[in-house]
Structure 1
Amino acid sequence: MAATGGTKNLSAEMKEAAAKAAQESGIVQTALDIVQLYKGDKVATWEIIKKLGEGGFGAVYLVKDANGKIAGEYALKAEKASETTRVLKMEVYVLMELKKSNAKHFCDILDRGRANGYNFVVMTLVGPSFDNLRKTASPDKAKQKFSLGCALSIGICVVDAIEELHGIGYLHRDIKPGNFAIGKSDPRRVIMLDFGMARKYIDAQGKVRVPRWAAGFRGTVRYAPLSCHISRDHCRKDDLESFLYMQ
C-alpha cells in the first residue's frame, strides 16, 4: 500500500511540474484565461449564437452581424485585451499575410479589432475537422480511417497548405488532424487552422534565422517531431514530419 501511495504522489508531482512548465513557457492557457461568451452577447457588432468549440488557446463562437449589414454566419475568436500572451495577434497577422499571397487553404478574415475588453477576429466558417470526420465515420476505432483515395487527396492538400504557409516565412508548429478542416460549402477544399503557435523562420532580409540552441516544447505530443522532444528549435521539415504522423 505504501508503494502504491508513493507512486500516486510521484505521478501527481510529475503532472503538476509538467503543467507548471507548460504555463511558464506559454504553451497553454488555463481555463480562466479562455473568454466565455453566451448566446445574445455582443462583441462589437457581432452577436453570439453559440459556442462551436474550445481548445487550449481559446474558444470559437458562431456569430452573426447584429446590424444585418453582413449576411450569413461566421466564426469569432476572442481573447481578453489584458492578456499578456497575444495568441490572436499572431493568428490575424498570419492570415492577413496569407491573404496577400492568394493562398487557397485558409480562412478569410471579415473583421478584427478590440471591443468590450476583448481582442477579436471574425472569419469564414469551416466544415468538420479531420479528427471529427474520422470519429464520425464509425464507432469502432479500428474503422475510423479514410479510404486510400481520400487519404491521398487530403495528403496532397495538406502539403500544399504547409507549402503556402512556409512560402510567407512562417512555421505552424502544431500540425495535426484537429488543425485541418474541410470547406463549409466545398468539402473538397482543405483548410489549415490555428496559428497561435506559428513562428517566423526568416529574418527581415529573407534569410533563414539561426536556430536557437534550446527551445521550449511546442505542439501536441502525439504529433510533435523528434526535435521538439529534445528541445531543438522547430524548422520547416518538422511541420512535414508532424504531417507524416497524421497518417
Structure 2
Amino acid sequence: MDGLATRNDETRAFSLEERSFSRGELPCGARAGDYSVVTPIARGGCGAVYEARQLRSGARVAMKVLHGTLAASPKMVKRFLREIEVVRRLNHPGIVEIYDVGELADGRPFYVMEHLDGLTLDVLLRQEGRFSPEQALDLLEPVCSALDAAHAAGIIHRDVKGSNIFVSRGAPRKVKLLDFGIAKLMEAEEGPTGFTTAGRAPGTLTIMAPEQILGGPIDARVDVYALGVLLHRLLTGKLPFYSPDATELLRQHLEEPPPRPSRRTPLPAALDAVVLRCLEKQPEHRFPSVKSLLCTLREAVGEPPSGRSSLPELAADAIAVYLDLRARTDADDLDDALADALGLALDVAEERLRDAGLTLVSMTGSEILAVRVLSCDPAEALRERAAVIEIAAALHDELAQRSRADGRVHPNLCLHAGQVVVRSTIHPEIIGGDLARVGAWAPVEEVHGLCATEAAVRGVEGLELSAGPPGLMLIGERPPSCSSPAPTLRSGVSGGVS
C-alpha cells in the first residue's frame, strides 16, 4: 500500500485533531460554554488564544484558555483568574475588553474578549524596521494612557513589550495593551498568597529593569524602564541591550550605560535624553510616572531640531544595499548558536556599512537596508555607485565566509539605485522613496552571490555580470577602485550596461 495506513492498521500517525487534543489545544468547532472555536490565533507561555463565535448571536470574539499542563497548578489558575480581575478592574479603551468568563469541560478556565483585527507591534517592527519620532509618539500615547490608568489603580504591568501591544488595521487605528498575566498589585503581596518572592523575577529579560531582575521591591517605574526599551527600539529598530546569553544580557541591564539612540540613526538630543532617563539604573533617576514621560516625549518630538519640522522633503538619487539573512531552519529551532550567528552577522554588516558612510534606514532581527545619497554631478555619482558596489562585494565575501561556520545562515545581499525622499539637512534624513520598498526589487529566493538591479550597475566598468533571478544580475568581480584602470567588461547580460 506504499506506506499508506489502512483502516485496520494498529499503528498510524495521529490526525491534526488528535495531536491538538494531546497538547490540550482546542480544534476547530470545539465548544467552550456558549462559544465555538473557529481557529487558533496565538499561543503563549500560559495560554492559547483562539478566534471564536458566540453560538446565539454569531458575534466574533477572541478566547484565551489556560494551558492544560498549567491547569493542575492552583497557583497558575489563580494567576490566570487574577489577570481577568486586573483587566476588568481597569475598563480602559487602551486595554482589551473582557466580555465573559467560563470553564471548559476539563476544568480549564477561559475568558472571552473583544476580537482585534491587526498585528502586534513586535510584528510591525520586524516589518518596518524603525519609526519616525512622530510615529513612535503616535504608537506610545495610547500605551502610556493605558499604563497610567493601570498605575492609578495600583497595578504594575511588568511586561510592556512589542508582542504585548496590538495595533489594529484600518483607520482610525487602535492601539491596545495586552497580557496582564504577570501584572502585580502595588499593595502588599507578601506571604504564601503572593505571586512573587524575593530573588524571582517574572518578565522578559530584554526589557527588565535592574530592580526587577534583582527581585527587589518594584513600583510603576519598572514600566517606565520597559517603555524606554520600547522607545529605543521604535526609533532605531534595535534593542538597547541584547545578548543571546541570558547572564550577559542581565549584566548589561545591571551595569552597562544605555546607548544613545542617535548612535544608530540621526535623532535630536532631546529624544536621546528621554530614552536615557527612562533607562536609568536607579528608579529614582527615571521619570516618576508614565504621564511625565509622555509629556516630555511630546515636547522632544515637537521641537524642531535644526529646523527639522520646517525643512522641505526632497527627492534625491541614491544607491541602496539590502541584506536579508536567511535562517535555514524551522521557526521553532532557533537555538542559541543560530541566534548568535545571526546576531554576529548583523553586527558585522552594520559596522561595515556605517563605517563606509551609508545611512542605515531600517534594521530588524534579520535585515538591514542601508542607503547612500548620490551627488548631483553625474560623474561623481557614478564613482559613488562604484564605491558602494565595492563595499557590498567585500561585505558579501565576509558574510559568505562567516556563513560557512554555520551553514544554516545564508546572506542575501542586493543593490539597487533609484530615488529616495529626504529632509534636506547636513545629514539628510531618509523618510521614503522607491529604494525603501525593498519588496519591489530584492530577490524572493535564496541567491548565491552578490546581486543587483540594472540601475545599480549601469555605467560601472570592470564588473563581471551574469544573469541572476528575474530582473536582477549577479556580480562576479569586485569593481576596481576609482584610481585604478578599469579592465574590460565581461558581461553575460545585455541591455544598457557598459
Report the TM-score when normalising by structure 1.
0.73
Tell me which residue corresponds to 1:156. 141
Q: Please, which of 208, 211, 216 is the counterpart of residue 227 of structure 1?
A: 211
Compared with structure 1, are the counterparts of its residues 125 and 108 closer, same or farther at alpha carbon in structure 2 (3 Å cutoff)?
same
**Contact 1:173 / 1:234 at 8 angstroms: preserved in 2?**
no
Tell me which residue corresponds to 1:71. 58
1:144-223 mapped onto 2 (5 Å cutoff)? 144-183=129-168, 188-202=173-187, 214-223=198-207
Could you report, residue by residue, the CA deviation over 1:194-231 in whole angstroms, capped at 9, with x for unpaired residues?
01101110259xxxxxxx99341121000111112222
Distance 2:221 2:174 in 1: 24
**Contact 1:34 / 1:58 at 8 angstroms: preserved in 2?**
no
Amino acid at match of 1:226: P
Distance 1:93 1:33 in 2: 30
Distance 1:40 1:161 in 2: 34
1:39-78 mapped onto 2 (5 Å cutoff)? 39-65=28-54, 67=55, 69-78=56-65
Per-residue deviation, 1:97: 0.4
When the two structures are aligned, how many residues end up with a matched partner?
198
Compared with structure 1, are the counterparts of its residues 156 and 74 closer, same or farther at alpha carbon in structure 2 (3 Å cutoff)?
same
Report the TM-score when normalising by structure 2.
0.37
Amino acid at match of 1:96: R
Per-residue deviation, 1:34: 7.0
Distance 1:201 1:60 in 2: 28
Greater C-alpha Rg: 2
Compared with structure 1, are the counterparts of its residues 90 and 223 closer, same or farther at alpha carbon in structure 2 (3 Å cutoff)?
same
Distance 1:156 1:48 in 2: 34
**Contact 1:175 / 1:219 at 8 angstroms: preserved in 2?**
no
**Contact 1:35 / 1:59 at 8 angstroms: preserved in 2?**
no
**Contact 1:62 / 1:73 at 8 angstroms: preserved in 2?**
yes
Identity %: 24
Gaps of 5+ in 1: 1-31, 138-143, 205-211
**Contact 1:169 / 1:202 at 8 angstroms: preserved in 2?**
yes
Per-residue deviation, 1:92: 0.8
CA RMSD of aligned residues (A): 2.4
1:111 aligns with 2:95: no
Compared with structure 1, are the counterparts of its residues 34 and 121 closer, same or farther at alpha carbon in structure 2 (3 Å cutoff)?
farther
Secondary structure of the residue that 1:90 maps to in structure 2?
Answer: helix
Gaps of 5+ in 2: 1-20, 190-195, 232-498
Per-residue deviation, 1:111: 1.2
Distance 2:45 2:208 in 1: 16
Amino acid at match of 2:101: R
Compared with structure 1, are the counterparts of its residues 71 and 213 closer, same or farther at alpha carbon in structure 2 (3 Å cutoff)?
closer
